[in-house]
Structure 1
Amino acid sequence: MSTSPEAVDLSSQRALSEWLPGRLAAEEPRILVIGDLMLDGWWSGTIERLCREAPAPVVDIQVRESVPGGAANTAMNLAALGARVSVAGIIGTDDAGVDLRNQLVAAGIDVRHLQTHPDMVTTTKTRISSGGQVMLRLDDSARTVPADALAALAASVRAAVERQDAVLVCDYGNGVLAGPVHDGLVAALGAREGAARRPLVVVDSHDPRPWAPLHPDLVTPNAQETARLLDRRLPDGQERVDAIGAHAEALLAATGARAVVVTLDRDGTVLLTSDGVRHRTWARPAAEKQASGAGDTFVAALTLGRSAGLPLTASLDLAQSAADVVVHQPGTSVCSTEQLGRYLRAFADTALGADELERQLDVHRAQGQRIVLTNGCFDVLHSGHTRYLNQAKQLGDILVVALNSDDSVRRLKGAGRPINAVGDRAAVVAALSCVDYVTVFDTPTAGPLIRQLRPEVYAKGGDYTPEMLAETPAVEEYGGRVAILDYVAERSTTAVVNRIRDGEGAASAI
């Protein structure tokens, strides 16, 4: 791998969006996707009458589209993001299997470990829609997977994992990863455990427990799968996030993983690690549309980020951004490097003026939402910042980050700062999924801005008490609350800047 990204100036979201394609082009990580490959059908037409036999609508089909789904969609996303992808699985020689294989080959995906068998039914999921509304989904899949096809796939596993930077297991319970394939994969990767060249192992499974012997680096259960792992019903909203965090040890033990990322659909994701790291992302959901496969995109981007050397928390935010891209697209779609870069660049110059921000916040208050405001320089973003901002978000519904202007930073930090101009600082902070609005202030303290915006909670991270903060009187004037969040002593912008200037490596991969 090349120079760690922490030694590159990624504190600008614009820089990240421009750096990412070049990094991936240079790295081109080798990633194997093994599991349940499917073909998704999207048929749409018009409805103008009911059928004579029953009170059911007649859909006159006008458009038929087929695209890779399941593990195949994950592979397509990886290829679109710049990885060198190979797939391993079992499909039929039926029309769906031929179509699926041809589309994978056209995308530049290596299919030498993709087994075909005349007695295998290629899994298909065909959605029939009209007027933007899915009316029906038709599923077709094999009741049993031919034993000789399983044996052939199991025999190819050891060769398939050779020289891979990552192995992504996509197990949707269709039987392709059962028995000999599971055992072969555990044996092949288990033999490499502790070795310098063991690939990153990611498991995306309806039930991650059978894969615990792999000791995966990451598992990505959704909320329902997590509830089954814990054998308990999860509450809604923030209480669900808190409940998941409270059972981190149980989830890690059940999955055998170094880290668990629980995906919560419209509520984003929660990261839990064996060394106590907690990280949250917030989704930017679209209105209900004919969209499918955002979870495949998420796990693909997460795997790619880690295999290309990005820190885990940065990879998580990158994956959330990729998922946000595809939920705004119809059908089963992929997020390309170009689309992801364009999405990230869109956060440049996103800081709102105080008057416009005040109007936006009035709308949120009318909807019963609580406003949280915090402020700071946020010059070179690091994990201490992101942890603190995630904590601040959890104090309310809407998080506003007020940035010190460039002149203000110079007055506070000296002539060599800021490292990044306020437009770039605003871009990277706005792109964090936990942040809803960014604004800039130039006054000695944030007091005047607080008096104008009147947030319900004013949050500050560091070794302060409320009495030490110049902003506290402004908050107390209107009955607001001051919240002091965790101080991460080993994380500081100054330390990061000094490491970069001294040519030192990364302090952490979290």
Structure 2
Amino acid sequence: MTGSTASTAHTPLVVVGDALLDHDLCGRAERLAPDAPVPVVHGTRRSSRPGGAALAACLAAADGRRVTLVTALGDDPASDTLRELLAGRVGLVEVPLEGALSSKTRVMAGDRPLLRLDDGDGCAREATPEAVAAVAEAGGILVADYGRGTADVLRDALAHTAAPVVWDPHLRGRPPVPGVRLVTPSAQEARAFARQLDDGDDTGDTGDTAGLRTAARDARTLVRAWRAQAVAVTLGERGALLSHGETPLLVPTPAAATGDPCGAGDRFAAAAAGLLADGTLTEAAVQAAVHAATRYVTEGGARAVAAPDQPRTAGEAPADGDTTGDAVRTAARVRAAGGTVVAAGGCFDLLHAGHVALLQAARRAGDCLIVCVNSDDSVRRRKGDGRPLVPAADRVRVLRALECVDAVAVFEEDTPERLLGELRPHIWAKGGDYARTPLPEQPLVESWGGQVLLLPYLDGRSTTVLARRAALGPASTGDRGK
């Protein structure tokens, strides 16, 4: 088994499933061919990346944990290429592959797939003692079953493991073993599996709200039929629906995400599996997984996996000294994927409803939101010796917990021009209370083609007022001044 370079700060994860090799042929499509009504793609660039269970393993490793991938590989060129792509990123335990490794090639125009070509139909032949031992010794397991036999040959070992298991099923694969902690089908997969259990009954509801009713009914059916502890039906832009067999929990996405959704289900399952292995409650793990999948789509999707990035746990704040680096990397990824970077700034001392409304509106204006926060010394210079009431580390932690916030950076100066110069956002968002106030950072933002945008501000919300009311006690509760 090769070693992984990821940190061991989190519970190691074993990913069991069918690896694929994915290729993207990306270009521009601006006209139709003269001899047929098909788009002409030109200026193409070819890239290769891990797919299937191999993609899920790389995504889990990017969360900062040691990952072992148990999968079927052979002697074919595609298997050799995939081994090279995985080297140094995940540990690898191979079972023998009968035939050639499956690969797929997408022809893309921007983020829009035009055509997919599939090659290879290899299947896992048999389990090995090393693979069985990896499952038996795992602290947490993710099964990415793409129907090519890896989960089948290890089914007995998976049925008897004591580790928490997340099972990401696909229509070509078999149902999960009984007792798994969480199953993560898409809405389409849940519907198809539920129809099979209902003897072909396809009496699904129609309409938008009816889609949620159908997903809830399908999830309940699958929990009971598969004897799973929980099923989370992923709903794309709507988030996920978590069911333990009774009233479901809807976990919405933090914001609309535009981009290539390929692999978002793997990102969701990998984040949930890692967090459950760490001992996180299922509801919290699903919420963090929805957030991780949304960020994944926004930041470029599967194509970003072609180059390893700095590891960071899904939903976890960066180290105290690296907030700026995290924010700059986030902005760069979104910009490279063609997205819109939005930044907003302030002290955010005693976060209140006015702050939250502003940040939610700012996030809806683009594809990611980076919050620029005054340091403690900067707040003190602006607000006086009694401020901040909350230190910068705690303010960053609270802001990072908001689902509309993608990254937070702290600046030491009185105004954020230096930080904005590193982030280069497309939009710099400020509250509407600045409508008649000159903004010193406006010329800088406009120098690279950025736009300063004013957003509505909830009147009557103020940290100063909140602090005064708290100091005066109950008698001051009628004070609602700005």
**TM range, smaller chain:** 0.5 to 0.7
The equivalences for 1:222-371 within 5 A come to: 222-231=186-195, 232=202, 233-246=204-217, 249-273=220-244, 276=246, 278-284=248-254, 286=256, 288-332=258-302, 333-334=304-305, 336-337=311-312, 340-341=315-316, 354=354, 357=357
Q: Which residue of 2 aligns with 1:63?
A: 45
2:41–2:109 CA contact under 8 A, matched in 1: yes
Structure 2 distance, partners of 1:358, 1:47, is 38
2:60–2:67 CA contact under 8 A, matched in 1: yes
Question: For each residue in 1:249-269, what CA deviation from the matched residue of structure 2 results, as whole angstroms up to 9, or x when unmatched?
Answer: 422112220111111111101
| Closer/same/farther in 2, CA of residues 253 and 52 from structure 1, 3 Å limit | same
Q: Which residue of 1 aligns with 2:14?
A: 32
Q: Which residue of 2 aligns with 1:140?
A: 119
Question: For each residue in 1:464-502, what CA deviation from the matched residue of structure 2 results, as whole angstroms up to 9, or x when unmatched?
Answer: xxxxxxxxxxxxxxxxxxxxxxxxxxxxxxxxxxxxxxx
3-state SS of paired residue (1:229): helix
1:270–1:280 CA contact under 8 A, matched in 2: yes
Residue 202 (str. 1) matches residue 166 (str. 2): yes
Normalising by the residue count of structure 1, what TM-score does the alignment of the two structures yield?
A: 0.58
3-state SS of paired residue (2:180): coil
Q: Which residue of 2 aligns with 1:102?
A: 84
Structure 2 distance, partners of 1:307, 1:226, is 24
1:91–1:97 CA contact under 8 A, matched in 2: yes
The equivalences for 1:394-409 within 5 A come to: none
In the alignment, which of 98, 102, 105 is matched to residue 126 of structure 1? 105
RMSD: 4.2
Question: For each residue in 1:80-134, what CA deviation from the matched residue of structure 2 results, as whole angstroms up to 9, or x when unmatched?
Answer: 1122211122234333221111111231x122325355xx222222112234433
Q: Which residue of 2 aligns with 1:221?
A: 185
3-state SS of paired residue (2:60): helix
3-state SS of paired residue (1:211): coil
Structure 1 distance, partners of 2:477, 2:298, is 36
| Closer/same/farther in 2, CA of residues 287 and 306 from structure 1, 3 Å limit | closer
3-state SS of paired residue (1:106): coil
| Closer/same/farther in 2, CA of residues 31 and 51 from structure 1, 3 Å limit | same
Structure 1 distance, partners of 2:318, 2:278, is 20
1:202–1:217 CA contact under 8 A, matched in 2: yes
2:14–2:67 CA contact under 8 A, matched in 1: yes
Question: For each residue in 1:313-344, what CA deviation from the matched residue of structure 2 results, as whole angstroms up to 9, or x when unmatched?
Answer: 22112211211111113351458417854699
What runs of 5+ residues in structure 1 fail to find an aligned partner? 1-23, 193-197, 365-416, 453-510
The equivalences for 1:365-444 within 5 A come to: 423=395, 427=399, 430-431=402-403, 442=466
2:167–2:176 CA contact under 8 A, matched in 1: no
* CA deviation after TM superposition for structure 1 residue 225, in Å: 1.4
3-state SS of paired residue (1:78): helix
* CA deviation after TM superposition for structure 1 residue 76, in Å: 0.2
Q: Which residue of 1 aligns with 2:144?
A: 170
| Closer/same/farther in 2, CA of residues 158 and 282 from structure 1, 3 Å limit | same
Question: For each residue in 1:45-83, what CA deviation from the matched residue of structure 2 results, as whole angstroms up to 9, or x when unmatched?
Answer: 345776565443443354111111111110001111122
| Closer/same/farther in 2, CA of residues 228 and 429 from structure 1, 3 Å limit | same
* CA deviation after TM superposition for structure 1 residue 285, in Å: 5.1
Identity %: 28
2:17–2:144 CA contact under 8 A, matched in 1: yes
Structure 2 distance, partners of 1:426, 1:310, is 19
Structure 2 distance, partners of 1:356, 1:316, is 22
1:88–1:115 CA contact under 8 A, matched in 2: no
| Closer/same/farther in 2, CA of residues 272 and 112 from structure 1, 3 Å limit | same
In the alignment, which of 54, 79, 93 is matched to residue 112 of structure 1? 93
By relative contact order (CA 8 Å, sep 6+), the higher-ranking structure is 1
Structure 1 distance, partners of 2:360, 2:20, is 44
The equivalences for 1:173-184 within 5 A come to: 173=147, 175-177=148-150, 182=152, 184=153
Structure 2 distance, partners of 1:448, 1:114, is 69
| Closer/same/farther in 2, CA of residues 430 and 203 from structure 1, 3 Å limit | same
Q: Which residue of 2 aligns with 1:188?
A: 157
Structure 2 distance, partners of 1:359, 1:218, is 32
| Closer/same/farther in 2, CA of residues 52 and 236 from structure 1, 3 Å limit | closer
Structure 2 distance, partners of 1:240, 1:49, is 37
2:181–2:228 CA contact under 8 A, matched in 1: yes
Structure 2 distance, partners of 1:212, 1:339, is 25
Q: Which residue of 2 aligns with 1:150?
A: 125
Q: Which residue of 1 aligns with 2:339?
A: none
2:71–2:93 CA contact under 8 A, matched in 1: no
In the alignment, which of 58, 65, 68 is matched to residue 83 of structure 1? 65
Question: For each residue in 1:416-456, what CA deviation from the matched residue of structure 2 results, as whole angstroms up to 9, or x when unmatched?
Answer: x99999946853663389xxx9975636699998x99xxxx
Structure 1 distance, partners of 2:143, 2:7, is 24
3-state SS of paired residue (2:270): helix
Normalising by the residue count of structure 2, what TM-score does the alignment of the two structures yield?
A: 0.61
Q: Which residue of 2 aligns with 1:398?
A: none
1:226–1:262 CA contact under 8 A, matched in 2: yes
What runs of 5+ residues in structure 2 fail to find an aligned partner? 1-5, 196-201, 328-343, 365-388, 406-455
Counterpart amino acid of residue 268 in structure 1: G
Q: Which moved more, 1:26-35 or 1:157-166?
A: 26-35
1:27–1:308 CA contact under 8 A, matched in 2: no
3-state SS of paired residue (1:326): helix
